[in-house]
Structure 1
Amino acid sequence: MGVAVAVTFGWLGMVLAISFLEAPLKFRAPGVTVPIGLGIGRIVFRALNVVEGVLALVIAAALVIAAPPVRVLIPLCLAIAMLVIQVALVRPRLSKRSDRVLAGEELPRSHAHVAYVALELVKVAALLTGGVLLLA
């Protein structure tokens, strides 16, 4: 289960660094406008989600091979489910909205963005819990 532990904590670190550090801070940098920040964010989150997908597949394979207890499976499967929901349901809405903002529209704060952050928080908690349980 060493691979699953390493991949789980690697994934957790990536999400924390990008979603909760890079994403909000980029808008505070001098000269970064909302359109520039959105453009950067789209590229960064697309890449993050691709890497997350690969890491989720590695974790899933490790779990199938090692067959850990259900208490370990639940949080890790929850993290994978949060990623699937983000990529399949929420990111397309965010992309449509950012297209409109990049086209010059001024829009109110997005409910989809709030949903993405909420799913990200659940994913972080699930990865942390799953990683700790893998170590136990």
Structure 2
Amino acid sequence: MSTGSAIIAAASFFWLGMVGAISFVEAPLKFRAPGVTLQIGLGIGRMVFRALNSIEVVLAVLIVVAAVLDPPGCLVLVGVAVAVLALAAQLLAVRPRLIRRSNAVLADQTGAVAASRSRAHYWYLAGELVKIAGLLTAGIAVLAG
């Protein structure tokens, strides 16, 4: 296995693990913990997802650079492209809506905003599932190649 392929595999699976752990374990569980209010949960979530998204951007750049310097097979490139495009959609289209919503919930003293449902979380979750598919495809394809 070449250095570029090893970097793509390692970074893809590391990224996949972070998305799985944070989006599907930490995020839903924090609101079930004793004493965690909506405000505290939102504050924690904002910090955690800001950090996750920053690390995801670094991993995406690392994977893309490795793919440019040591081009892998077509299926790997498709998986990488899917994951990177899903991340870009989340960061540019969905995350700003989630930030506006959390700002509104935190500023609302009546609880009316929090009582209404937001579809933006479902779009973010859809992006996570697309990223997982892309990262699994890229990681498995590079190992199989």
Match runs of 1:14-25 below 5 Å = 14-25=18-29
Q: Which runs of 5+ in 2 are unaligned?
A: none
In the alignment, is residue 50 of structure 1 matched against residue 54 of structure 2? yes
In the alignment, is residue 106 of structure 1 matched against residue 106 of structure 2? no
Q: Which runs of 5+ in 1 are unaligned?
A: none
Q: CA deviation at 1:32?
A: 0.5
TM-score (norm 2): 0.91
* Matched positions, count: 136
Aligned to 1:131: 139
How far, CA to CA, are the matches of 1:24 and 1:34 in structure 2? 12
Q: CA deviation at 1:106?
A: 2.5
How far, CA to CA, are the matches of 1:48 and 1:31 in structure 2? 24
How far, CA to CA, are the matches of 2:9 and 2:72 in structure 1? 12
Counterpart residue identity of residue 45, structure 1: F
How far, CA to CA, are the matches of 2:98 and 2:56 in structure 1? 18
Aligned to 2:128: 120
Aligned to 2:33: 29
Counterpart residue identity of residue 115, structure 1: W
Q: CA deviation at 1:69?
A: 1.7
TM-score (norm 1): 0.97
- Identical amino acids, percent of aligned pairs: 56
In the alignment, is residue 90 of structure 1 matched against residue 91 of structure 2? no
Q: CA deviation at 1:130?
A: 1.0
Q: Residue 66 of structure 1: which of 54, 64, 70 is its match?
A: 70
1:71-97, CA deviations, whole angstroms, 9 ceiling, x for partnerless residues?
A: 110111110010011011100000000
Following TM superposition, where does structure 1 have runs of at least 4 consecutive aligned residues deviating by more than 6 angstroms? none
Q: Greater Rg, structure 1 or structure 2?
A: 2
